[in-house]
């Protein structure tokens, strides 16, 4: 994005954006795409400074409805055609395996959930121990994903964990576990570890868990 010229006091603008945080920059990108260059983004600090002021638990950016009905790759992205989730999914997991495994004990449920996903994509059925342990996680979102991923593991321990999750107190966990019991494990693993390309709008294996907003 080309930054607009700093306006003079007597200059007329079509739009003024207050704040150069993620939302402000995103709006600027949209205005550029609309060929509207008579605008200004006002920021009293550095670009993106507001993000650093968010509570720590809000600074962990995770995928948000990649299959949304707005045509965006990821609702957590700054622009319509980018996605932090897609970029992070291309990291060399093997080189960061120790870090990923350590994140299974993170205080934030989103970090634990994403660590499970990365570990499964890296190890496949070898992630069984971590998935079974996650079946007892206090967060329903982590248990939901544990149930989803256990569908790709063909072991007695995985089946037992799925059976427990099918009786979970949270309906979303129960429903996910029941679906996981019905999938073909080998096919699921091949789908979930599929390679992303630049045109993909959904992450492999995640369709069932992307709950589109009720507009």
pLDDT value, residue 92: 78
Extract the tokens encoding 202: 């959904």
Q: What is the pLDDT of residue 129?
A: 96
By the 10 Å C-beta count (0-12 exposed, 13-18 middle, 19+ buried), 214 is classed as exposed
- Amino acid 53: pLDDT: 79
Give the pLDDT confidence score for residue 205 in this predicted structure. 45
Residue 175, H or E segment: helix 171-182
Q: Which of 61, 52, 166 is nearest to 110 (CA)?
A: 61
**Domain 89-202 belongs to what topology?**
1.25.10
Q: Give ranges for CATH 1.25.10.10 in the chain.
A: 89-202
Q: What is the pTM of this model?
A: 0.59
Residue pair 207/97 in contact (Cβ under 8 Å)? The answer is no
**d(C-alpha 202, C-alpha 200), whole Å:** 6
| Amino acid 1: pLDDT | 45
Q: Which of 21, 12, 13 is nearest to 44 (CA)?
A: 21
Digit-by-digit pLDDT tens for the chain (215 residues) are 445 555 555 678 889 999 988 788 888 888 888 888 789 999 988 887 887 777 766 666 655 555 555 556 666 677 766 666 566 666 678 888 898 899 999 888 878 888 898 889 888 899 999 999 999 999 999 999 999 999 999 999 999 999 999 999 999 999 999 999 998 888 777 776 554 344 444 444 444 444 433 32
């Amino acid at each position: 994005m080309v930054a607009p010229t700093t306006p003079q006091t007597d200059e007329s603008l079509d739009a003024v954006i207050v704040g150069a945080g993620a939302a402000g920059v995103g709006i600027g990108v949209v205005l550029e795409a609309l060929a509207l260059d008579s605008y200004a983004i006002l920021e009293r600090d550095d670009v993106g400074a507001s993000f650093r002021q968010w509570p720590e638990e809000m600074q962990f950016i995770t995928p948000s409805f990649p299959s949304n009905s707005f045509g965006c790759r990821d609702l957590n992205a700054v622009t319509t055609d980018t996605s932090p989730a897609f970029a992070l999914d291309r990291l060399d997991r093997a080189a960061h395996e120790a870090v990923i495994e350590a994140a299974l004990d993170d205080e934030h449920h989103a970090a634990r959930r994403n660590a499970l996903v990365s570990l499964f994509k890296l190890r496949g059925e070898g992630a069984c121990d971590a998935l079974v342990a996650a079946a007892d996680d206090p967060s329903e979102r982590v248990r939901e994903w544990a149930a989803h991923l256990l569908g790709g593991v063909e072991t007695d321990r995985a089946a037992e964990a799925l059976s427990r999750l099918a009786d979970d107190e949270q309906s979303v966990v129960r429903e996910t576990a029941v679906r996981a019991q019905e999938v073909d494990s080998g096919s699921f693993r091949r789908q979930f570890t599929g390679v992303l390309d630049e045109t993909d709008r959904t992450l492999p294996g995640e369709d069932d868990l992307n709950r589109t907003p009720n507009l």
